Structure 1
Amino acid sequence: MSGAVLVCNDIERDFGRLETRDVDLSTGKHQQNGSVAKSTASDTKQEVDLTRRKVASVYTTADTKQKSSASSEQPATKPYKLVWQGFPYDGSWVHLLDWTVDLLTSFRGVGWKHRISTAGTIDAPLPSDRPREQNRSKPEGESKATSVSIQNLRSLQIRAIQDFVVNYLILDLLKTTLITDPYFLGLAPLQSPTPWWWLDQLNQTVPIATRFVRLLLSMAGVISALTTIFSLNPLFFATILPSLVDISTITKAPLLEPGLYPPMWYPLGSSIFRSGLAGLWGRFWHQMFRFGISEPSRVVIKKLELDPRGGTARALQLLIAFGLSGSIHALGSYTTFSLQQSHPLSGPLVFFLLQGFGTILQTSAVKLLNNKFSWTKRTPLSVRQTGNLLFVLVWLYFTGPLLADDFARIGIWLYEPLPVSPLRGLGFGPGGKDEGWWTWYQEGSRLMSWWKGCHWWDSSLAIY
């Protein structure tokens, strides 16, 4: 991310953040750093623009957005205007720190001009995005006075709480289930017999069942863990933090805007049916690293003066992006403290490079068929979608073990992501009721503790 920001871009020229500015509805004047004058609910209701507001869908894939009625809603926040703020040379140190930390930690740029395309548009009245000609540190444009309605804020907060609870329980179910299979403990190979009786019976009928289910559960475990982590974002910034402090006093970012919490995952079915392997990785898969791993290829393509839509540029983009992604996972594999030998290069790195190669292979094959055989363009949509699905399943079936086996060997599934396990507290874990509710009591599950040696110089704070 540091390379994408500092090497591939010009901070002053290329980055602008969506920020709030206080307004005084009684006079109509814009206040850069002042407070908002008090106004009655009826006055605010008439002056504040709520006409474009929709019910938030947060980061889930459910399409629950609905048009809201401006005449029946009340603002839940102080009125403000939205502006595009470049590097704040003229701002205070607090503003500068706020802007900079947000830039480095907002990987998808959801509140920035470089917001990735898969995150959609921001559901808010935005100022015009016109190029700056003079002082780039000055804010660009201003929206009308706006606010988040009570209905939308409550919808955002309730959805955030609900999704966190559901994701927490799903992750607990998967963790409790996976640790009963020796494969996920790194003690058995992928093709070894399964201890689950239902899967063992299914494998007798369908010989690939055990391998397929283990790969599927490996993917489900990663998705569930990431989704639970992502759900903390709206839970903390839009629910917990606003209940403790006035967020406008600590940041100029519009943290209560529903548009700052777009879906992290696209619908899996439509992504694969539409684009096959490219849709799986380019649309469905989480977007956290998209900006960081796509910027180097953009700069290279620009330097080489290639057509961004051409085949060469596309292949270069895929190989660089998947190569970087594979390197990230390979470094994670290399630095683990595992009793089993990890294979960072022949495992994670090769897996992700093969995903780029598979994407190129599928898209090239489709283009070739369409050019050579005109009748393929008239093939029913259901047939083309089935072909995309089958290619993805077959490709991941044969390449998936490169990553899944390394995950199991390095002990990813041994990690306790949740401090409290309802299922193991009720006795459904492999240790029965003796396990208890609290999962971080085990030696291997501690984060840190005081280590006592034989002498005082042997004692210290141990980080596990």
Structure 2
Amino acid sequence: MMAREYVSLYRQTLAERQRLYDAAIAAQEYTPFLYPWDMLPATYLLLAIMITPRLPPRLARPIRFAIFALILCHSLYLNVRRRTLWFAGGYGIGLATDWGIIMSAALLVFNDPARDFRRLETRPAKLKADTDIVANGHARMLKPAKVKLDTDVVANGSARMLETPNADASASIDLTRRQVPGVYTSTDTKQPSFPGSEQAASQPYNLVWQGFPYGQGPLHLVDWTVDLTTSFRGPNWNHRISTLGAIDAPIPPEPSANGPQNSPSKPTAVPKQSLRALQLRALQDFAVSYLLLDLLKTTMTTDAYFLGLSALDSPTPWSWLARLNEVLPFATRLIRLLISMTGVITALTFIFSLSPLFFTLILPRLVDVTILTKSPLLEPWMYAPFWYPVTTSILQSGLAGFWGKFWHQMFRFGISEPSRVLIEWLKIDKRGHVARMIQLCLAFGLSGSIHAAGSYTTFSLTPSHPFSGALSFFFTQGAGVLLQSTVAKLLQKYVPQTKSLPRFVKQSTNLAFVLVYLYFTGPLLADDFARCGIWLFEPVPFSILRGIGLGPGGKDEGWWTWYQEGSKWVGWYRGDRWWESGFAIY
């Protein structure tokens, strides 16, 4: 009689979840994610932005509001009816639909696309040989603090790659004096001079501000609209968020001005050295985060906590951690929380690296992107860092710095717009305590709603806790920011000696507060992530570590990770109604 092949607890968990999912789909309790119907909310938004600016104002406003209501209703319907295992166990459905609602409100309700948005676009520079003179205007520093606060991913955009840069054009532009943030830095620095850095990687161009592109052709309109809806942090928009640093650009025109600004920037081009550094950094981030994801995933598959089957403080299967926990009783809890946070940061870094990798390295080699977009795709400031250094965020500002700078600012524009509009409508002092309370409550409340929606739409073995988990966690963070700032002000008022404490004492106190506060509040979110089955998702298709025999071992383990017996990726799904039939992602 042959011995049965060993099946790890990890594979058993995946198989049981797959069995329950298949049963729920067969019983029509849920349907998988369906194309094209489930992409309609995004289509509504794109059409609203392209069409309503051409309508009379008294008609455009109610239509924008009506389309937002349609997006809201359709998105809520998707949250109730759709489930998939491939979008991080279904977490991606709720996260994407809730963020779509928030971003749609920011673009259609709290702003007027025809009036409030301007994009920096490229125009071919008209250069005279061996001169540095350009018609009309001088580039000036664009400080993000001077424009509306906001949040992103780089959309379509680029300057065309040149195989042989024009020598006369290059000579007329001093590429070593470009006052722009360095590659993946947040500070304003002059580009260093490298051997060969005087050679341009792009055609020389001017930067101009472009409002809604009336009468400039359908391609330009689609380019402008798609960029607005997908460029969340707005690196080349007038709502560029404050953490992105300053760039050389013309001053944004007044909202009433339509069309491109008449005073462009000085002629500029992307130096080859800057482009090379940007591409290498993107490759480095991709490779490092891929390997680290493989390590984290391989580690998580051996601990029942990350499979959603045991509590945070349950005994660890790792012998080294069990011995450490005997000395430090909080060690298991702390290590699991650290692994959870590292997993989130690494996964996001991996995703963020795809943007510069694709738009600066892959796409320009496949197509002349200048015919697709007028966005300055190769500029380093389009890819500002998503994670700030600890020294300039947490050590200086504590928990407020952790969330306001260190943590990624992808959603900042969308979640800050409601408070901006409410404060302006109530005519509250923008720098006052009441305004700060409104900003914190709405920002953390909306952040919590995004993660709570993701928690709600997951298909997991253990029921998730959207409200007592994810939503509560983000509300506690807002309370923590207020607590720390209030205590600091009281100490400065009643204990004046604290003002003269050495800098390292203040920084150490900020760091200690953040670590202790997250240690006690972090389980609200980390436990919900585990219950949702987020860590069951396979982030990388090829696992080097599991291929060489590490991990849980047993049946189905090996180099190729995107395999689960009985699972189905895609296929045609036929439901009872026409809107429940389509190309399915299971």
1:430 counterpart SS class: coil
Which shows bigger deviation, 365-374 or 264-273? 264-273
Equivalent residue number for residue 456 of structure 1: none
Tell whether 2:432 aligns with 1:330.
no
Q: How has the CA–CA distance of structure 1 residues 89 and 368 changed in structure 2, closer, same or farther, with 3 Å as cutoff?
A: same
Tell whether 2:464 aligns with 1:342.
yes
CA contact (8 A) 1:26 1:39 kept: no
Paired AA for residue 201 in structure 2:
A
Q: How has the CA–CA distance of structure 1 residues 423 and 54 changed in structure 2, closer, same or farther, with 3 Å as cutoff?
A: farther
Q: How has the CA–CA distance of structure 1 residues 56 and 155 changed in structure 2, closer, same or farther, with 3 Å as cutoff?
A: farther
Q: How has the CA–CA distance of structure 1 residues 190 and 132 changed in structure 2, closer, same or farther, with 3 Å as cutoff?
A: closer
Paired AA for residue 12 in structure 1:
A
* Structure 1 unaligned blocks of 5 or more: 453-458
Q: 2:201 aligns with which of 76, 86, 91?
A: 76
Equivalent residue number for residue 18 of structure 1: 120
Paired AA for residue 221 in structure 2:
L
CA contact (8 A) 1:15 1:87 kept: yes
CA distance, structure 2, for counterparts of residue 410 and residue 242 of structure 1: 39
Paired AA for residue 335 in structure 1:
T
Which shows bigger deviation, 268-277 or 80-89? 268-277
Q: How has the CA–CA distance of structure 1 residues 462 and 97 changed in structure 2, closer, same or farther, with 3 Å as cutoff?
A: closer
TM-score, normalised with respect to structure 1: 0.90
Equivalent residue number for residue 251 of structure 2: 128
CA distance, structure 2, for counterparts of residue 51 and residue 227 of structure 1: 30
Matches within 5 A, 1:49-198: 49-53=174-178, 58-59=183-184, 66-68=191-193, 73-122=198-247, 125-131=248-254, 135-198=257-320
Paired AA for residue 6 in structure 1:
L
Per the TM alignment, residue 268 of structure 1 is displaced from its structure 2 partner at its CA by 2.8
1:139 counterpart SS class: coil
Q: How has the CA–CA distance of structure 1 residues 349 and 38 changed in structure 2, closer, same or farther, with 3 Å as cutoff?
A: closer
Q: How has the CA–CA distance of structure 1 residues 56 and 374 changed in structure 2, closer, same or farther, with 3 Å as cutoff?
A: closer
CA distance, structure 2, for counterparts of residue 238 and residue 186 of structure 1: 39
Q: How has the CA–CA distance of structure 1 residues 445 and 21 changed in structure 2, closer, same or farther, with 3 Å as cutoff?
A: farther
Q: How has the CA–CA distance of structure 1 residues 319 and 64 changed in structure 2, closer, same or farther, with 3 Å as cutoff?
A: same
Paired AA for residue 14 in structure 1:
D
Equivalent residue number for residue 7 of structure 1: 109
Paired AA for residue 109 in structure 1:
G
1:83 counterpart SS class: strand
CA contact (8 A) 1:420 1:438 kept: yes
CA contact (8 A) 1:88 1:99 kept: yes
CA distance, structure 2, for counterparts of residue 430 and residue 410 of structure 1: 21
2:232 counterpart SS class: coil
Per the TM alignment, residue 48 of structure 1 is displaced from its structure 2 partner at its CA by 2.6
Equivalent residue number for residue 170 of structure 2: 45
Per the TM alignment, residue 436 of structure 1 is displaced from its structure 2 partner at its CA by 1.9
Per the TM alignment, residue 129 of structure 1 is displaced from its structure 2 partner at its CA by 3.0
* Structure 2 unaligned blocks of 5 or more: 1-102, 136-159, 575-580
CA distance, structure 2, for counterparts of residue 278 and residue 460 of structure 1: 45
CA distance, structure 1, for counterparts of residue 293 and residue 162 of structure 2: 46
CA distance, structure 1, for counterparts of residue 218 and residue 372 of structure 2: 12
Equivalent residue number for residue 398 of structure 2: 276
Q: 2:411 aligns with which of 289, 292, 304?
A: 289
Q: Deviations over 1:253-292 (max 9, x none)?
A: 0100111000011013442111111011111000100111
Equivalent residue number for residue 229 of structure 1: 351
Q: How has the CA–CA distance of structure 1 residues 136 and 56 changed in structure 2, closer, same or farther, with 3 Å as cutoff?
A: closer
RMSD: 2.8
**Higher RCO, 1 or 2 (CA under 8 Å, sep at least 6)?**
2
CA distance, structure 1, for counterparts of residue 288 and residue 474 of structure 2: 30
Q: How many residues align?
A: 451
CA distance, structure 2, for counterparts of residue 40 and residue 386 of structure 1: 51
Q: Deviations over 1:79-126 (max 9, x none)?
A: 21111111111311110110010000000001111110111123xx42
Which shows bigger deviation, 207-216 or 72-81? 72-81
Q: 1:256 aligns with which of 356, 361, 378?
A: 378
Per the TM alignment, residue 370 of structure 1 is displaced from its structure 2 partner at its CA by 0.6
Q: Deviations over 1:132-188 (max 9, x none)?
A: 66x412334211221111111112112211221111111111111111110000011
CA contact (8 A) 1:58 1:160 kept: no
Per the TM alignment, residue 434 of structure 1 is displaced from its structure 2 partner at its CA by 5.5
Which shows bigger deviation, 178-187 or 46-55? 46-55
2:208 counterpart SS class: strand
Q: 1:202 aligns with which of 324, 328, 334?
A: 324
CA distance, structure 1, for counterparts of residue 339 and residue 105 of structure 2: 34
Q: How has the CA–CA distance of structure 1 residues 29 and 361 changed in structure 2, closer, same or farther, with 3 Å as cutoff?
A: closer
Q: Deviations over 1:52-100 (max 9, x none)?
A: 3379754478999852269851111112111111111131111011001
CA contact (8 A) 2:116 2:255 kept: no
CA contact (8 A) 1:22 1:36 kept: no
Tell whether 2:319 aligns with 1:217.
no
Paired AA for residue 151 in structure 1:
Q
Equivalent residue number for residue 455 of structure 1: none
> What is the percentage of aligned positions where both structures have the same residue?
61
